[in-house]
Structure 1
Amino acid sequence: MRSFFKIFFATLLAFVVILILGVILLAGVIGSAISPEVVTLSPNSVLVLETSQQYNEQKVSNPVNALLRQEPKSVPGLNDMIRLIKHAETDDDIKGIYLKAEGNANGFATNEEVRNALLRFKQSGKFVFAYGEVMDQKSYYMASLADRVYVHPKGGVEFSGFFTQLTFLKGTLEKLEIQPQIFYDGRFKSATEPLRETEMTLANRIQTSAYLGDLYGNFLKNIGTARKIDTASLHRYANEGLIQEAADALKYKLVDGLKYNDQVMDEIKSRLGLKGSDDVNFVSVSKYMDAVDLTENKGADNKVAIIYAEGNIVGGDSEKDVTISSGHFIKLIREARQDKDVKAIVFRVNSPGGSALASESIWRELVLAKKSKPVVVSMGDYAASGGYYISCMADSIFAQPNTLTGSIGVFAVLPNLQGFFKNKLGVTFDGVKTAQYADLGNTSRPLTDIEKKFIQNSVDSIYSTFKSRVVEGRKLSGAVVDSIAQGRVWSGIQAKQLGLVDRIGGINEAIACAAKLAKVSSYRLREYPESDASLSRMMKSFGASAHVEAAVKNELGEQYDLYRQIKEMKEMSGEIQAKLPYAVDIR
């Protein structure tokens, strides 16, 4: 017994000592992570941008890397990126930008914002070099603006034109005996097509061809301007499949040379006046963000608020990243509205839409804000359906030429799972109710004709309200709005021509417009939602859902989009939606 207690207490003491040391170590590491590391730049530095890096609207921190003092500790938001590039224009320590062009995870409008910032950077007289082993089309679009564009001799440049492909689930649902009971308004409202068709309808094919053509036209025009090649020739290169190997890209002047990485490094060294044995001081955007202060007009009393609305629109009061929950955003808008120092609001929308009711609630709060100060909307990759609903009331709306917007229409899906449960699983249901329609919307039985009429009436009513919001906000006639609504998706170019947006431009242009409308010349920016504290975000990052989602994405690869589409359809079941038709994937 004495031996047992001796071993027990020795083990307990060791455990306590290890626990205390662990707590002290963790506290020290967290403390060092929370206190920012001092980063200084060396002269003759080159800023490195990677086209494969995805940019959300706001900065995304990596708390694990911060704890371990590894890169990247954080990824700048899109507006941060634009301001970093602008800052680099006049930073004497930054001599140029090296663009690593391999893969591109961003949408077309996001690329447009960054590309325009790089074009402005070039006007400072500093160099931009681009290099990649294999450049896909969106990577090449970014690289094409560079002073020198190089590709690996055995690599290549993809230049084959755009395509988009939809996945239709009707046949699968029929095999499973799942009946998707669908209600919608707008002949172009094709969000439910994957559930009710086996191929694109004519209306959907028309709208998709129109906006895809606009996006491709913008792609060719800007590459042609940068490379001094007419767009007809560029179109021929793609149409005839002339760019197959790296040598073809050089032959047709899409690139300036075929080089290995070390050869590109030697040219950059030569540009910087370095010797062959010297190392180039490359600075990542994450490190550069830690080294510089982007705050402007710190002492200014006047503020322009930027509210970043990114993701699906949902009801409730969630503060989940990349989600626009009505309760949370009403609070943010109200805070900016009631702050007397905030003279104008820029509402940055990057959303395919979502809940129609949540969109209406956010719209209402923005209308109240507009009564007291200017509200300007800046559209990102998407501001469609519900994303347009929450935009249409603004004093002025900015979009990129390749923004997807419009999609003014609504739909609802209520699946009938009776056949699936009974015939596939052997499960049946029965119950008691006190009123005829008490179980309306129950997925264990089909809707009756009268119940279908109830739901269609609700869809019609919300669609009518949606259109009236556009009529009021855009000062267009009801007949005009009805003709350009119908659930149709428009490019930013088309939307401007139709009066759905006011100007082609990005975040900076929207901010300048808001300040002008507010008649303020000196102001500082106030961003909403505020970034989480490091420790708070660190704890969130260890959440099970985040790890599960990352694991599923890694395992499914290219099929992840199909999984996401099915998941979103499941989440939309039972609620009337103002949402972009299907998951748009343009390659």
Structure 2
Amino acid sequence: MLKNFFMSFLGSMAAIWLSVMILFVLTIVFVAGLIGSSLKSVKIADHSILHIQLDGVISEHRTPQDIPDLILNGQSDATTFEDILRSLEYAATDGRIDGVYIDCTGSTLGYASRAELREALARFKKGTDKWILAYGDEFSQGDYYVASAADTVYLNPMGTLDIHGLSSSVPYFKDALDKLDVNIQVFKVGTYKSAVEPFLLNSMSEPARMQTQLFLDSIWAGISEGIGMSRKIPTADVCALADSLTMSRSAQWCLNHKLIDKIAYRRQAEDVLCALTETEDPKDLELVSPAEYMSDYATATLATADDTHIAVVFADGDITENGDKGIVASSLVPEILSLAKDDKIVGMVLRVNSGGGSAFASEQIWDAVRHFKAQNKPVYVSMGDYAASGGYYISCGADRIYAMPQTLTGSIGIFGIVPSIEGTLDKHLGIHFSSVSTSPDAIDISVIKDMTPRQKAEMQRAIQRGYETFVGRVAEGRHISKDSVNTIAQGRVWDGNTALRIGLVDRIGSLHNAIADLARQIGIAPTAYATYPAMEISPLQQLLSAGIAGKDAIPEALKAKAAWAAIPPAEADKALRMLGQIVNMSPIQARMESITLQ
């Protein structure tokens, strides 16, 4: 009887185990097929249209995607900014591509990236009879800045077009933190190092307000001039329109003021595309995304690891020592050192889009760039929307630095933040700590206890030492004295045009300019480059690794979302999120304040 029970039990367990394994294998096959189908090469037909969708977040460079994120969002084939720039470059001479269709639905690209895109569109049109058509159900100011470079701009009859100038808003948390009895212990060097201000003040300091006003005015001057030139409207008129609340105006008003060329529904714009490509039905339009175009073009044309080429290395996001997001020193440093040893790589363009992060990690990347140069290989830097603080740290040793007029850079300074919730635990939760130690400062710096006076003094000394090292790196890289650097440092943020004037960058130019100029210096074709970090993980490998390392990713994400959703005020939510970030980040930071141009 007992024997039969065990036999039945073991048989059931074996059946369950076998079913689970079969289900697992089928899941692998299904998702791998899904991924494979989304990444497969696309055949480009004659009379194709390069379809650029300005929608949502557009990443700088393609990176491996988490499988849970892939399953939930299905974005493995999302177009990157790199795809857009490269596809425009190659499609200009590709007889299969008749023109470009810019579909504006609201993207988060920064203004420096948008300016680069406008330049790429201008190069696409130069010397060809190809056309660019832009359509929007509604135009945000940023999307319109790009769309205004098109030959023809279409707006939906019920659509809106927004031109309002620029602003930058910063939340301040001092009162909220005081109510929670959170003690933010701050250490910094630099009059303008305002990244710590949200924790210490309730409003913007005068130095921060002054620098923000200056770079906003400079960037807006370039944007308004660009729109004016594209639309053949005086710059002064564009600035006047910014004071006219254009988003409340009708499509006819926009047409009367020469902001658009046609009023049309989407279907009518698609009819125009049909006429331009000799296509009978809109559903038969050959719309090719930049990602699809590059998957076809790259199979036979682009540089490979076997060719002599320039390495274009993307460094995008927060600078950290370890992790899997942003600019991770533990990954990027070995990558650069490996490229330095590769005889096929004759130079590097470091593409930096970062407001900084860990000062320690920034120093390690700076050293790797120096080592690359020591192999008699030139290094150019192309700055994106931001290359400030740690972003400038990793850039300053380059042979040549390029920035767009709208780039925010500089912010040469160091700070440290150590939050203490001792008061919160004591006064609000009734939690108290007692300690025994062999010396007064034997207890580690921790969020649960205020720092001692001696610890604070030593932290400030470390911050000062870090600042002097940072200034020294800039002085060495830019070939100027430390005193000269100090006059333009102090944590101050500069726009690209001003950075050129004071010597922080060498040229106003795009990634395209940096690659072309470096190729010219070396004596190779401007198309002889490959991008890094390279995508080397296959979809199946990602899937298998996700099954081991990422098995808890989805439930943990849902738990976190639910927990934060329970916090009622939005301000408290943001404050606590930021507090959580500073608790987990390196104590000494070379980081610019959070600046969003709206």
User: TM-score scaled by structure 1?
Assistant: 0.90
Q: State whether residues 60 and 76 of structure 1, in contact with CA within 8 Å, keep that contact through their aligned partners in structure 2.
A: no
Q: For residues 476-528 of structure 1, give each alpha carbon's deviation from its aligned partner in whole angstroms, at most 9, with x where no partner exists.
A: 22222111001001111111111101011122221223333434458732432
On the 8 A contact 2:304/2:530 being kept in 1, the answer is no
2:380 aligned with 1:368? no
Conserved? CA contact 2:419–2:583, under 8 Å: no
Change (3 A) 1:469 1:11: same
> 1:348-381: per-residue Cα shift (whole Å, max 9, x none)?
1111111111111211221122122111111111
SS at match of 1:536: helix
SS in 1 for 2:154: strand
Query: Displacement, 1:327?
Result: 2.4
C-alpha contact 2:67 2:542 (8 A) present in aligned 1:
no
1:112 aligns with 115
Aligned to 2:538: 533
How many angstroms does 1:468 deviate by?
Answer: 1.0
Amino acid at match of 1:424: H
1:52-79: CA deviations, max 9, x gaps? 14332221466879999x9754224322
Cα separation, partners in 2 of 1:546 and 1:84, compared to 1, 3 Å: farther
- State the SS of the aligned residue for 2:160: strand
Query: How far off its partner does 1:309 sit?
Result: 1.3
3-state SS, counterpart of residue 100 of structure 2 = strand
Say if 2:245 is the partner of 1:259.
Answer: no
Q: Which moved more, 1:543-552 or 1:43-52?
A: 543-552
Change (3 A) 1:142 1:540: farther
- Corresponding residue for 2:519? 515
The within-5 A match list for 1:289-368 is 289-293=294-298, 295-297=301-303, 301-316=307-322, 318=323, 320-321=324-325, 323-368=326-371
Question: 1:282-315: per-residue Cα shift (whole Å, max 9, x none)?
Answer: 2233332333226435597422112211111122
Task: Indicate if the aligned counterparts of 2:28 and 2:540 stay in contact, CA closer than 8 A.
Answer: no
Partner of 1:441: 445
Partner residue of 1:490? 494
Give me the whole-angstrom Cα distance separating, in 2, the residues matched to 1:87 and 1:99. 17
User: What's the % identity of the aligned pairs?
Assistant: 33
1:60–1:74 contact (8 Å) kept in structure 2: no
What is residue 151 of structure 1 aligned with on the other side? 155
- CA positional deviation for 1:533: 2.3
Q: Does the 8 A contact of 1:171 with 1:198 survive in 2?
A: yes
Q: Do the aligned partners of 2:41 and 2:292 also contact (CA within 8 Å) in 1?
A: no
Farther-moved stretch of structure 1 (23-32 vs 349-358): 23-32
Question: Larger deviation: 459-468 or 538-547?
Answer: 538-547
Q: How many angstroms does 1:129 deviate by?
A: 1.1
Q: Residue 581 of structure 2 aligns with which residue?
A: 568
What amino acid is aligned across from residue 474 of structure 1 in structure 2? Answer: R
In the alignment, the residues of structure 2 paired with residue 361 and residue 5 of structure 1 have an alpha-carbon distance, to the nearest angstrom, of 61
Aligned residue for 1:248? 253
The within-5 A match list for 1:61-76 is 73-76=76-79
Q: Secondary structure at the match of 2:157?
A: strand
How many Å apart are 1:541 and its aligned residue? 6.4
Measure the CA separation in 1 of the matches of 2:119 and 2:177.
45
Q: CA deviation at 1:535?
A: 2.5
Q: Please say if residues 302 and 522 of structure 1, whose CA atoms lie closer than 8 Å, have aligned partners that are also in contact.
A: no
In 1, Cα distance between the equivalents of 2:402 and 2:467? 24
CA offsets per residue over residues 322-352 of structure 1, 9 Å max, x none? x222222221111111112211111111111
Secondary structure of the 1:159 match is: coil
Distance in 1, Cα, partners of 2:14 & 2:176 = 61
- More displaced, 118-127 or 401-410? 118-127
Q: How does 1:22-421 map to 2 (within 5 A)?
A: 22=23, 25-26=26-27, 28-29=29-30, 32=33, 33-34=35-36, 37-60=40-63, 73-123=76-126, 124-242=128-246, 244-245=248-249, 246-275=251-280, 279-293=284-298, 295-297=301-303, 301-316=307-322, 318=323, 320-321=324-325, 323-372=326-375, 373-421=377-425
Equivalent AA in structure 1 for residue 583 of structure 2: K
- Gaps of at least 5 residues in structure 2 are none
* 2:592 aligned residue: 580
CA shift in 2, pair 1:27/1:401, >3 Å: same
Aligned length in residues: 581
Q: CA deviation at 1:228?
A: 0.6
Instruction: Measure how far apart 1:392 and its partner are.
Output: 0.4
Output the amino acid matched with 2:352.
V
Shift of 1:108: 1.7
Please report how far the alpha carbon of residue 432 of structure 1 lies from its aligned counterpart in structure 2 after TM superposition.
Answer: 0.8
The answer on whether the counterparts of 2:84 and 2:291 sit within 8 Å (CA) in structure 1 is no
Using the alignment, how far apart are the partners of 2:49 and 2:412 within structure 1? 45
Q: Which amino acid aligns with 2:318?
A: N
Give the C-alpha shift of residue 111 in structure 1: 1.9
> 1:219 Cα shift?
1.1
Aligned equivalents of 2:329 and 2:180: distance in 1? 35
User: Given the alignment of the two structures, is residue 476 of structure 1 paired with residue 489 of structure 2, yes or no?
Assistant: no
Could you give the per-residue CA deviations for residues 369-422 of structure 1, whole angstroms, max 9, x where no partner exists?
A: 212211111111111101101110110011111111100011111223221110
Greater mean deviation of Cα atoms: 234-243 or 142-151: 234-243
Amino acid at match of 1:311: G
Task: Give per-residue Cα distances to partners, 1:418-448, cap 9 Å, x unaligned.
Answer: 2111001101111111122112523333333
Q: 1-side partners of 2:40 and 2:224: how far apart?
A: 43
Report the CA distance shift for 1:278/1:443 in structure 2 as closer, same or farther (over 3 A).
closer
Q: Extract unaligned runs of 5+ from structure 1.
A: none
Cα distance in 2 between the residues matched to 1:369 and 1:101: 41
366-375 vs 201-210, which deviates more?
366-375
Question: For residue 57 of structure 1, what is the amino acid of its counterpart?
Answer: E
Query: What's 1:459 paired with?
Result: 463
* Aligned-partner SS, 2:386: strand
**Letter paired with 2:178:** E
TM-score, normalised to structure 2's length?
Answer: 0.89
Structure-1 separation of matches of 2:404 and 2:26: 49
CA offset at residue 87 of structure 1? Answer: 1.8
The 1:563–1:222 alpha-carbon spacing in structure 2 relative to 1, beyond 3 Å, is farther
- Give the residue type in structure 2 aligned to 1:275: E
